Chains A and B, each alone.
Chain A
Amino acid sequence: EPEVTQTPSHQVTQMGQEVILRCVPISNHLYFYWYRQILGQKVEFLVSFYNNEISEKSEIFDDQFSVERPDGSNFTLKIRSTKLEDSAMYFCASSRVRVQETQYFGPGTRLLVL
């Protein structure tokens, strides 16, 4: 069964450093998403991406975040200058179409900012 994959599974970085989290969505899916889950809190929507541009973003997704689909398979989330409060589990998801469609999640990347 096709699945969303994410790399790395864990990343530790120093405050102020840039990180890139990578995702490979399910191959015939057209919509891609990033979510984050700070330890002990809700899963929160960050951004959605369709047709090579951002479709929607939340208030959390400020100028330090960016997303890109650099080739036909990868979907990346970049955090330019990490802060301590960026420490969280980051989930990538994809869906085949937009309306009423199930989103399939990857296993997540646990980011720790020191």
Chain B
Amino acid sequence: GNSVTQMEGPVTLSEEAFLTINCTYTATGYPSLFWYVQYPGEGLQLLLKATKADDKGSNKGFEATYRKETTSFHLEKGSVQVSDSAVYFCALSDRGGGADGLTFGKGTHLIIQP
């Protein structure tokens, strides 16, 4: 079956530090890959996505590249801000494999200190 593995948190960084949150996946088909973010007290918001190998998704300074050879979709940001503190979820959609539902990782809690 499909699965997503994310690095365990919490991840604590200082403002302006470089961020990497690792995500690897297993899928039977050719998935699309997503990063969702959940700010405190809010729902899931789409941060970025990539639909095929070597695609790079980007938004709000965050980037992730779909690497089929390493089955990875690591999230990066060059300089984090306090406002980036949230829980980040990596997810895949394997609709080509016949699945409607997204498969999520466990989430990584990111804490940015001033």
Contacts and interface: CB of A to CB of B under 8 A. Distances in A.
B101 A58 contact: yes
A77 to B, nearest CB: 14
Contacts of A108: 43
Contacts of B101: 33, 35, 45-46, 48, 56, 58
B45 interface: yes
B100 A100 contact: no
Interface string B44-58: 111001010000000
A49 B34 CA distance: 21
A6 B42 CA distance: 12
A98 B100 contact: yes
Contacts of A75: none
Contacts, number: 58
B95 A98 contact: yes
Contacts of B45: 105
Interface in A40-78: 41-46, 48, 55-56, 58
Given A100-B51, A100-B93, A105-B43, A56 B105 contact: no
Contact of B103 (A33, A45, A91, A106): A45
B36 interface: yes
A56 B106 CA distance: 22
A85 B102 CA distance: 22
27 contacts: A35-B102, A42-B104, A42-B106, A42-B107, A43-B89, A45-B100, A48-B100, A48-B101, A56-B100, A56-B101, A58-B101, A91-B43, A98-B95, A99-B96, A100-B32, A100-B93, A100-B95, A100-B96, A102-B46, A103-B93, A103-B102, A104-B46, A105-B44, A105-B45, A105-B46, A106-B43, A107-B42
Interface of A: 6, 31, 33, 35, 41-46, 48, 55-56, 58, 91, 98-108
